[in-house]
Structures are given as C-alpha cells and as structure tokens.
Amino acid sequence: MDDMVAERGNIERLLLIMGNLPEFLRLSYARRKISELSIMNESDRRSTIGFAAQCLLALEPAMSTKVITSWIRALCEIEPTTLVLLVESYTMALMDHKNYMNVYLENLVSAYQSLSQECQNKIAISLKEALLLNPHSVKIVKTLPLALRNILEYED
C-alpha cells in the first residue's frame, strides 16, 4: 500500500503498466489497487487520487481512457458502502483540482456509458449519496460539468 502513496513516479509507472495490459489483467489490477485505496486514511486517499489524476495527463488519451474505464468497472464490483466512501474521496479530490474534471470529462462519460445499466445505476446512486453526505453538496453540484449533472439527473 505504501508504494501507492509514496510518490507520483510510482503512480505514473503503475498507470502506464495498467494501460498496456489486456483488459482482464487491467481490471484485476484495478481491483487490487482499489482495495488498497479503500483502506487508506482519507488524507492519503485524496493525495493518491490527486497524483493519479495528474499522472493520467502524461498518458496518451486512448491509454488513459482504457485505464479509467477499467477502474470504473472495478469500482462497480465493490461493496456499496465502500463505493460511497471512495466516490466521496474522488469527488473531494477532483473538486480540489477542477481542471482534471474538465480534462477527463469525455473519458469519464464514455467509460460510464460503456457500463451495464446495473453498474451505471450503482455508480450514479453512490455518487448522489456521496454528494448528499457532503456539507458543500449544493456548491459541488453547481460546479459539476453539465454532462455529469445530466448523468446524475440534476437540473439547474
């Protein structure tokens, strides 16, 4: 677990390796790293998510799309309570770095749309729940790109 938090270079290498793996191995690796992420404390988790978002910028767009898609698929498989916890961390980390949300918006929406309807519902419900648990939920929802608000069925 420490290697995941340690430094940006390790995360960048991990994402590059993941991007070059076949889907079944990328998904397996994402499951393992999500498990590690779920047991980190909140500060380490947000820091790691922030580093990962920065490192995705170094990858070719097609590779980052593959990594993001596998990661979201792996998120669909975890316990709902853990998923809400992780989604809350992702939301806060990405709100700290709003430009990442805009850079990855197309990849996030594409990855979401490639999921089964059941998985889409699970992700959307977890995201809504994580937002509702946040004391700044109204502010956060207003800053979300329109495409994400549409997925969550939030109207202006």
SS3 content of the chain, % helix, strand, coil (to 5): 80, 0, 20
How many Cβ atoms from other residues are within 10 Å of residue 25's Cβ?
13
- What gap in Å lies between CA 94 and CA 120, rounded to an integer? 20
Burial class (CB in 10 A: 0-12, 13-18, 19+), 130: buried
Segment 46-85, tens digit of pLDDT: 889 888 888 888 888 889 889 999 999 999 999 988 988 8
The total number of residues written for the chain in this structure: 156
pLDDT of residue 156: 60
Would the pLDDT of 2 be above 50? Answer: no
